[in-house]
Chain A
Amino acid sequence: MRERVLVVDDDSQMLKAVTNALSARGYEVLKAGNGETALSLAAVEDLDLVLLDLGLPGIEGHEVIGRLRAWSDLPVIIISVRDSQEEKVAALDAGADDFITKPFGMKELLARMRAVRRRAVDEGEPEPVLRFEGLEIHLLKKLVKLEGEPVHLTPTEYRLLEAMATNPGKLLTHTWLLQKVWGPGYGTESNYLRLFVRQLRRKLADTPSAPRWITTEPGLGYRWLPEPAPDSSGASH
């Protein structure tokens, strides 16, 4: 079945460009030029994903997420020209799943869309083995192999790796990672997290300025870069 994406933007050229690009890649695209239309479409149509501009006439983007989140956990990616950290944090707090600033490349947008969709579908049981190009993570045996060689990780490092690798492509905020790895009592110890990310990168032979596994979203969090190799993800969906 074709995935149904709602694109919300008040700029008709932007709407056209994104619609064409997504249609060409097999998505079914619905369009809305303002917040009201977006909300009513989201209420009646069976959607898989929303791409939402923040600067909308009438109901503003943040407000749209807020109202949508009242009854739906439909994945939402913000596409906006606003690039300040404040805006990003505000959008994520309001319930957006990811944030991509205009201008953006189609490749990047498609990767983000796949990432939030994957999580939305995947909430159930994880794969027994995550396979990426050159890296294998055996979730049951808690075993990690880099280029076929076993990598020795501390339990915390392993939990961090697992939290990241099971959410490929998705923006993982400091708070989310801290609570996932260290527990619900944590959330502000981002320097602690940074230390472990650095160690993990070293053990996975990653170069932060040309990353293979983990990219940094400064001030926000991290992203597990590679998408799973096709043979490991095809099984469940």
Chain B
Amino acid sequence: MVSMDNFRVPWNAPPRVSRRVVAGLAAPAAVTLLAIPEQHPSPPVIAVLFVLAVVIAARVGGAVPGVVASLLSFLSLNFFFTPPFHTFWVAAPEDLVALFAFLVTSVIVGLLLSSAVKAKSRAERRELEARLLNRLATRLLSGESPEKVLTGFAEGLCDVFDLSHCEISTTFTTKTEPARAEASGRPERVRLSARGRDIGEMRIWVGARGRLSADEQSVIESLATQLALALEGMRLSVEMRRVELEAHTSRLKAALFSGVTHDVKTPLGAIMAAVTSLIEGPGFSEGQRREHLDTIRQEAERLHRVVNNLLDVARLRAGALVATRVPSAIDEVMESTLNRLRPLLGGREVDIRVGDEAPEVSIDVVQIDQVLTNLIENAIKFTPPRSPVSLVAVGNADGVRVTVFDRGPGIPKEDRGRIFEPFERGRVSVSGTGLGLAISNAIVVGHGGRMWVSDNPLGGAAFTFELPCGVEPSSQEVSDAGESARR
């Protein structure tokens, strides 16, 4: 059975020495024994039978057994079946002609047949070699571990060439455990090199059958060459993928760094300017001094928010953004977030509306506060000053839905998927690393909820997130299912 994930292939192994000897001797001997009991054997019939013996010997054993069988048949025909019987003397001259004609014919038939058989077996071997290599290449590129593929290939070689053991080691794969019992004796070594680079070696233990024929040797060497090329190809493709990944990562890093640099250095710059001006400047009026100090405070707070988002990104990447959930009222979180952000609002009208049905939800209040902070901050940053912002929470038995409505330009439909990706800032260029929405989305998803953006019916954007209430109903269902399955 030939399958794509196996190297085992049907293959007629080259005949062994014993088989060749038997083929050369046995076929003519059998014909002789068969024909002797005949009282009046007809020489043409017996001659045809001997030709058949030679054909069988050549087919089974190859050229040399064919010739041996021809000679034996010739002698047997002379000794047993040509008068005078039981001597090598031939009485009639026409019998002598017939005997030699038989010898020449049978040798030619044997040689032709054995070379045809050899050509066929060589073609089969070529085909097999191609299949082995094709499968090797496919599996090397399939993402399977190269060690496993090489072990499979070595096993395939063992089967094809009837080897007792085979190992393939390369400079870039780890050493594999021998699949079969370690063979004794010295292995034959075949170098694997591609484009002048030495990339490993193949070690072959031939085992009981002795040595490899020159033919097998050359087949194995050509297989080794192709194997080396396939391995080199795999190495290059892996290398290329790594380089591509690195380029992608470094592009992301560059985007992050430029965003972070901007977001961190801008408030720092304002703080430095205000502080140095206070330290070195001439006498300021009380009002001016106050203004400088206000700048310092506001910018320090801004820096604090930027750093919080960056920390969340780091936690997210480290897998450490784990929610500590307690049953809480969403309106209390909304109120306290808004209260904290009051200095940012600058006289803007922000109202909170909470439906009567809003249930308790199991949330990490610090994280949900971060989500609300990001949404409110965005609403303030991306909309005209003094335009109103509304926070609305509605709930039912399944959970709560919080929406932040603004009256700004809104988010174009084609950007709505993207804005929750890191480093996206929609189309509007306003400061911000563009991490806020990505972090918020990750937090909401971490709570088993979801987040999206739509149009505010009054004009503007509406950012909504939904939090399920109750503690992980999904895992409850899973354990219920497990219970009933056991029952």
Question: Is B369 in contact with A209, judged by CB distance below 8 angstroms?
Answer: no
Return chain B residues, CB-CB under 8 Å to A134: none
Q: Which of A85, A191, A217 contacts B360 (CB 8 A)?
A: A191
Which residue from chain A places its CB closest to the CB of B329 in the assembled complex? A194
Question: Is there a chain B Cβ closer than 8 Å to A175's Cβ?
Answer: no
Question: Is B339 in contact with A218, judged by CB distance below 8 angstroms?
Answer: no
Question: Is B326 in contact with A210, judged by CB distance below 8 angstroms?
Answer: no
Question: Is there a chain A Cβ closer than 8 Å to B201's Cβ?
Answer: no
Which residues of B, 379-421, contact A by the 8 Å Cβ criterion? none
Question: Is there a chain A Cβ closer than 8 Å to B67's Cβ?
Answer: no
Binary interface profile of B, 178-198, with partner A (CB < 8 Å = 1, else 0)? 000000000000000000000
> CA separation between A230 and B343, bound complex, in Å?
27
> CA separation between A215 and B304, bound complex, in Å?
22
Return chain A residues, CB-CB under 8 Å to B352: 208-209
Q: Which of A103, A191, A210 contacts B339 (CB 8 A)?
A: A210
Return chain A residues, CB-CB under 8 Å to B300: 103
Question: Is B366 in contact with A85, judged by CB distance below 8 angstroms?
Answer: yes
Question: Is there a chain A Cβ closer than 8 Å to B280's Cβ?
Answer: no
Q: Which of A84, A194, A209, A217 contacts B338 (CB 8 A)?
A: A209
Which residue from chain B places its CB closest to the CB of A191 in the assembled complex? B360
Q: Which of A86, A103, A217, A219 has the most CB of B within 10 A?
A: A219
Q: A84-B366, A103-B300, A209-B352 are in contact. Are A215 and B326 (CB under 8 A)?
A: no
Question: Is there a chain B Cβ closer than 8 Å to A150's Cβ?
Answer: no
Question: Is there a chain A Cβ closer than 8 Å to B371's Cβ?
Answer: no
Q: Which of B297, B304, B329 contacts A191 (CB 8 A)?
A: B329
A169 to chain B: closest CB distance in Å?
16
Question: Is A210 in contact with B336, judged by CB distance below 8 angstroms?
Answer: no
Question: Is there a chain A Cβ closer than 8 Å to B470's Cβ?
Answer: no
Question: Is A83 in contact with B366, judged by CB distance below 8 angstroms?
Answer: yes
Question: Is B338 in contact with A218, judged by CB distance below 8 angstroms?
Answer: no
Question: Is A194 in contact with B366, judged by CB distance below 8 angstroms?
Answer: no
Q: A215-B336, A218-B369 are in contact. Are A84 and B342 (CB under 8 A)?
A: no
Q: Is the interface of B mostly helix, strand, loop or mixed?
A: helix
Return chain A residues, CB-CB under 8 Å to B360: 191
> CA separation between A215 and B335, bound complex, in Å?
9
Counting residue pairs across A and B whose Cβ atoms lie within 8 Å, the total is 55
Question: Is B366 in contact with A216, judged by CB distance below 8 angstroms?
Answer: no
Question: Is A218 in contact with B350, judged by CB distance below 8 angstroms?
Answer: no
> CA separation between A211 and B337, bound complex, in Å?
12
Which residues of B, 321-344, contact A by the 8 Å Cβ criterion? 324, 326-329, 331-336, 338-339, 342
> CA separation between A126 and B296, bound complex, in Å?
41
Question: Is A218 in contact with B342, judged by CB distance below 8 angstroms?
Answer: no
Binary interface profile of A, 197-216, with partner B (CB < 8 Å = 1, else 0)? 00000000000111100011
Binary interface profile of A, 72-116, with partner B (CB < 8 Å = 1, else 0)? 000000000001111000000000000000010100000000000
Question: Is A85 in contact with B365, judged by CB distance below 8 angstroms?
Answer: yes
Question: Is A85 in contact with B364, judged by CB distance below 8 angstroms?
Answer: yes
Return chain A residues, CB-CB under 8 Å to B332: 194, 208, 216, 218
Q: Which of B304, B342, B364, B365 has the most CB of A within 10 A?
A: B365
A186 to chain B: closest CB distance in Å?
15
Question: Is A216 in contact with B364, judged by CB distance below 8 angstroms?
Answer: no
Which residue from chain B places its CB closest to the CB of A222 in the assembled complex? B332
Question: Is A219 in contact with B339, judged by CB distance below 8 angstroms?
Answer: no
Return chain A residues, CB-CB under 8 Å to B366: 83-85, 219
Q: A209-B338, A210-B342 are in contact. Are A219 and B304 (CB under 8 A)?
A: no
Question: Is A86 in contact with B339, judged by CB distance below 8 angstroms?
Answer: no
> CA separation between A218 and B324, bound complex, in Å?
13
Question: Is A215 in contact with B339, judged by CB distance below 8 angstroms?
Answer: yes
> CA separation between A211 and B331, bound complex, in Å?
14
> CA separation between A218 and B332, bound complex, in Å?
6
Which residues of A, 152-188, contact B by the 8 Å Cβ criterion? none
> CA separation between A90 and B360, bound complex, in Å?
23
> CA separation between A216 and B326, bound complex, in Å?
15
> CA separation between A204 and B334, bound complex, in Å?
20
A91 to chain B: closest CB distance in Å?
14
> CA separation between A78 and B378, bound complex, in Å?
32
Return chain B residues, CB-CB under 8 Å to A215: 336, 339
Question: Is B327 in contact with A209, judged by CB distance below 8 angstroms?
Answer: no
> CA separation between A218 and B364, bound complex, in Å?
10
A124 to chain B: closest CB distance in Å?
33
Q: 18 new A-B pairs (CB below 8 Å) besides A210-B338, A215-B336?
A: A84-B366, A103-B300, A208-B332, A208-B335, A208-B339, A208-B352, A209-B334, A209-B339, A209-B342, A209-B350, A209-B352, A210-B342, A211-B335, A216-B332, A217-B336, A218-B328, A219-B333, A219-B365
Chosen A-B contacts, 10 in total, with CB atoms closer than 8 Å, are: A84-B324, A84-B366, A85-B364, A103-B304, A191-B327, A191-B360, A194-B329, A208-B332, A209-B338, A219-B326
